[in-house]
Amino acid sequence: MNTPDPEPARIKLTSGTFAQGSSESKLRDLWNSYPYTQQIDVVFPSSEHSEDALQRLETRYWSCKCNLNDFVEYARPDATHDYLERGILALGTSGPQGTDVWTLDTRGVLTLAVERITYTRLGLVGQPLPWKACDDIFIITISLSQQNEAPSKVSGSKWHRYGEKVKTALQAWDAWRGPWSILYTFREPNLPLTTVTDSLVHIVQPTMHKYQNVHVPVPSFQPHPGSSNPEELQDWQDVMQGLLEWVGLACLGSQRLQVNDSPDPYLAVYAAPPPSHAGETAHLRWRGLLHPLFVQDIIRAFTMPTNVPTPGFVAIAAHGIPTSPVGYLSTSGTAPLRALKPDMEDTRSLMVFGDGTRPQGYVFAESIGRWDTRWG
């Protein structure tokens, strides 16, 4: 059996401390850069208080069958400041007709990713993806803002404002394509909201597993050393690589972490990052269309000082939606181009280090695949 090589990826590491009280806002900006999340995993040494607090966190999203223009008309009355406060997040998934998809993100921007045949029929100017392997996919950007000025958070010059021309094009598309399978959620999904007719609500609650007698790291926070000393930087990166490898195995519930594990060394070799001890870990997971603000609720559970004992470290791993045309928003709010590949790299991880009562620092790891223009 020939297993394909994993996609090349670059890991960007960012660290910070909580001493000055500014790291929480920086963390918020880092995580808000990723509007689409389909899974969150949280792993930490077992802590009854943290487990109880996290198990109470739940959210919801909706699914429906609807024409695209009808959904835009449903969302558009809020596509100004009120829209952004409401924070609709939506994704139109591809069907048997092809690979066309679209997103409506929290900027109030509709992004279409369409095949050449659809692009030609729509008649809306966009831009092709910059890779030869997928240059038959075009990105069309549409602002739903009802204001007259140009939207500041739409990248490039090839964008449209939703008006009669765009509306006519979307209606024609709906006529030949038919309804979309749509997922959507809101900034505060637990409030009474008007939803699309015949929408099905999905309640997202965490699942929890506990693993006993496993290797548990005892890490201490070490901020990024900078680039002035290459050897020191390499040592720091090696430590972070070991911790992140442990996080990945913990999220998988891997047997390699068991203290009594003894695999054939020709098949598998693993050593937990030192120092470590035998202990118990908790693993919680949420799956669904998760709004960025719900992700923030999970992070705040571990980044705010508390009067009760907390784990010495917490690892949070998030999985994006690789078939979404918008995967990342820059600090200016623009969305870099990326290919739409189901197996594309689209993950990020956060490790929060503490002293048992308050957080001390964090390391944020972003994995950037080669089908992302941030790759360079």
- Give burial (CB, 10 Å; 0-12/13-18/19+) of 61: buried
CA atoms of 170 and 173, how far apart (whole Å): 5
CA atoms of 34 and 319, how far apart (whole Å): 10
ω before 309 within 30° of 0 (cis)? no
User: Using one digit for the tens of pLDDT, what is the confidence trace for 67-85?
Assistant: 999 999 998 865 444 445 5
Per the CB < 8 A criterion, the answer to whether 209 and 283 are in contact is: yes
pLDDT at 156: 54
pLDDT at 81: 46
pLDDT-wise least confident of 7-21, 30-44, 123-137, 318-332: 7-21
Token pair recorded at residue 202: 């999905």
Placement of tokens 């038919």 in the chain: 178
**pLDDT tops 70 at residue 65:** yes
User: Using one digit for the tens of pLDDT, what is the confidence trace for 97-116?
Assistant: 578 999 999 888 999 999 99
* Interstrand relation of 101-104 and 359-369 (parallel, antiparallel or unpaired): unpaired
pLDDT at 198: 93
**pLDDT tops 70 at residue 146:** no
**pLDDT tops 60 at residue 25:** yes
pLDDT at 305: 67
Q: Which residue has the higher pLDDT, 248 or 341?
A: 248
pLDDT at 4: 59
User: Using one digit for the tens of pLDDT, what is the confidence trace for 318-336?
Assistant: 999 999 999 999 888 889 9
**pLDDT tops 60 at residue 364:** yes
**pLDDT tops 60 at residue 236:** yes
Q: Which strand (E) or helix (H) includes residue 302?
A: helix 292-303
pLDDT at 79: 46
Work out the average pLDDT over 178-182.
Answer: 95
CA atoms of 257 and 278, how far apart (whole Å): 10
pLDDT-wise least confident of 5-19, 93-107, 158-172, 340-354: 5-19
Work out the average pLDDT over 245-268.
Answer: 89
Placement of tokens 């689209």 in the chain: 346
**pLDDT tops 80 at residue 337:** yes
CA atoms of 67 and 243, how far apart (whole Å): 46
Helix, strand or coil for residue 187? Answer: coil
Residue ranges covered by each domain of the chain: 9-58+205-375, 61-202
pTM score, two decimals?
Answer: 0.91
Task: Of 137, 146, 141, give the one whose Cα is nearest residue 94.
Answer: 137
CA atoms of 195 and 192, how far apart (whole Å): 9
Contacts 24+ apart (CB under 8 A), 65-68: 65/179, 65/180, 65/181, 65/182, 65/198, 66/179, 66/180, 66/182, 66/196, 67/171, 67/174, 67/178, 67/179, 67/180, 68/92, 68/102, 68/170, 68/173, 68/174, 68/180
**pLDDT tops 60 at residue 163:** yes
What average pLDDT does the chain have?
87
CA atoms of 334 and 321, how far apart (whole Å): 18
Instruction: Give the chain's end-to-end CA distance (angstroms, integer).
Output: 33
Give, as one character, the DSSP assignment of residue 80: S
Q: Which DSSP string corresponds to 9-56?
A: EEEEEEEEESTTS-HHHHHHHHHHT---EEEEEEEEE--HHHHHHHHT
pLDDT at 10: 84
pLDDT at 235: 93
**pLDDT tops 80 at residue 44:** yes
Q: Which residue has the higher pLDDT, 3 or 328?
A: 328
Rounded to 5°, the CA angle 253-257-258 comes to 100
CA atoms of 221 and 216, how far apart (whole Å): 16
Token pair recorded at residue 7: 């996609």
Work out the average pLDDT over 141-165.
Answer: 73
pLDDT-wise least confident of 23-37, 48-62, 193-207: 23-37
ω before 275 within 30° of 0 (cis)? yes
**pLDDT tops 60 at residue 149:** no
